[in-house]
Amino acid sequence: MRVSGGVPGEVLWRGSWRVCSRVEEVWRVEDGWWRPRPVRRTYFRLALEDGQPLTVYLDHVDGRWWQQRY
């Protein structure tokens, strides 16, 4: 993931870097604060340069970016 200003600018998708043409939606999930491993994530619904939709998130617990699998 290549991030600019806290927002994904490029993602590694299916073996090649793809430009994110726009961010369509952003939302945050915080849950399980009482558990040993709480969930704290910021999700980004992206449109890639060819229009392909992709959802990625930043896990604030471990500081890593992930692609959402449906």
| pLDDT tens digit sequence for 42-59 | 999 999 999 999 999 999
All structural domains of the chain with their residue ranges: 2-67
Q: 59: which strand partners?
A: 41, 64
Tokens encoding 60:
């604030």
**Cα angle value 32/70/55 (rounded, 5°):** 80
Q: Which of 14, 35, 36, 26 is nearest to 56 (CA)?
A: 26
Q: Is the pLDDT of residue 70 over 80?
A: no
Question: For 34, phi and psi rounded to 5 degrees?
Answer: -85, -10
d(CA 33, CA 1): 27
Q: pTM of the entire structure? A: 0.88
